[in-house]
Amino acid sequence: MTPSRDGVAWSLPAPMLTTAVDSPALPSGYAGEPKWDGFRAQLSRFGDGRVLLRSTQGTDVTAAFTDIREAAFAQLPQGTGLDGEPVVWESGRLAFERLQQRLGRRGAAAVAERARRWPAHYIAFDLLHTVGEGDVTGWPYARRRAAPEALFADRGLVEPFTLCPSTTDPTSAAEWLAWSAAGVEGLCFKRLDAPYRAGVRSPVWQKYKVRMTTEAIAAAVTGPLAARRSVLLGRHDTGGRLRYTGRTTTLPAALSRALADRLTPPDEGPGAHPCEGWTSTAGWGAAGRAHAAGMPIPAVGRLRDRQVLDR
């Protein structure tokens, strides 16, 4: 709990979580919101001047996003607690990899340089605490939604703050799926009469995620050959050269074992395989040397490791 200037202690609750659904149709009695290509983080502006940006897992990431911290101090009233997503916009799309690079920098000079190159925006989709009302998580979504709309209008909030769109119109919600190339990953559905339930994964909050299916070549694996941790994926370019395109997240044990019989060894000799001897980092989620192998498999979804950043 953090004391505010008026002596009242408060902190934001654990984030409410979504339940995955297979249909993009907006249910009756729900509001729809775009699902952004960012990561979930709550933002608190305390009365003592402090600002806290905290990930879903409770990690303090404030120091990595000085631009959001400074804007919160300058624009948000004391006692404000928001739920939302930091995002980075680059070349006409949301770039999750730039968020990862922002998180990975240490030292004031490096953080400032990354903030200059890849400024972050904070997309707010819920208001959880106000200086006048205190904790408002018990309010139904419809009332909580009106509160950030009033906050943005009354305070004239500007960049890097953005209010997440919300609609009860199924047609409008479906149209947001056309923004997938720009970084909309799907839709979130929130029941209008539902309170914010701290730390609960509930069907009153639903998430539909767009998934794209394509074929890729499992070009290499990381980890010991007897216990493969992840697969490096590739596609052939127009010249027939195998190019690295991404990797899987850490493989479940059963899938790792099943993969063994389907891999084929590469040709022998130096340079025979483009991935031979690559080394991975902790950022890949499966540190170690890449071992060459190959087979065609379907690759579903966008393959990358979000580590502590899961929504």
Return the active site residues. 35
Euclidean distance between CA atoms 45 and 157, whole angstroms = 14
* Distances 265 to 27, 70, 259, 295 between C-alpha atoms, Å: 49, 53, 13, 9
**Contact yes or no for 55/39 (Cβ under 8 A):** yes
Q: Which amino acid is at 196?
A: Y
Euclidean distance between CA atoms 309 and 70, whole angstroms = 22
11 DSSP assignment? -
**Contact yes or no for 122/84 (Cβ under 8 A):** yes
**Over the Cα atoms of the chain, what is R_g?**
22
**Contact yes or no for 216/236 (Cβ under 8 A):** no
**Contact yes or no for 77/45 (Cβ under 8 A):** yes
